Amino acid sequence: MDHQLFVKMALQGWNTQVTRAEKYFNALSEADFQKTVAPGKNRIIYLYGHLTSYHGLLSETLGLGQAMYPELAPVFLRTPDGPLVNAYPVEKLREYWHEVHDRLTELFNALPAEDWFKRHNAMTDEDFANDPTRNRLSVLLSRTNHIAYHFGQLVLV
């Protein structure tokens, strides 16, 4: 099996989705971030914080280091959009987004291809032995799909 080829393909997908989302967010005005993706649904600013928070936790999930900005999780992962989101201005979220993704790029590029097929921290050794497809690379693929899902919501706004 050519681990390097599979990892390269997965990282290309991840980078494409992150770049696409970043380009979208960078083109928005302050007022645009207050728009909802659908009546009664999350605002764009919430989705920006949601993706940033989720990705900030990825280094810890993958066993590559400490989570970045875990304080975002209660606001952007554990609760729906609401007044607490307003404590995070767009410029602060932009800063977090760039720091998170710059760090993930460093970590991902430094990880040997074989290591992508190892267990991640959200499962036990026993679970991994029973299903080795639930590895670090599968987490990356899942997060890539997650970005694409929310990007689909965003382009409809």
Nearest residue to 57 (alpha-carbon basis) of 129, 142, 115: 142
Residue 152: DSSP 8-state: H
Looking at the chain, the whole-number percentage of residues with pLDDT higher than 90 is 94
State residue 1's pLDDT score. 65
Q: List domains and CATH numbers for the chain.
A: 33-110+147-155 (1.20.120.450)
CB 142 within 8 A of CB 58: no
26-46 pLDDT per residue, tens: 999 999 999 999 888 899 999
Q: How far is it, in rounded angstroms, from Cα 6 to Cα 65? A: 23
pLDDT in tens, 72-117: 999 999 999 999 999 999 999 999 999 999 999 999 999 999 999 9
> For residue 31, what are the CA distances in angstroms to 15, 21, 22, 151?
27, 18, 17, 18
Give the residue ranges of DSSP H helices in 27-78: 44-56, 58-61, 73-76
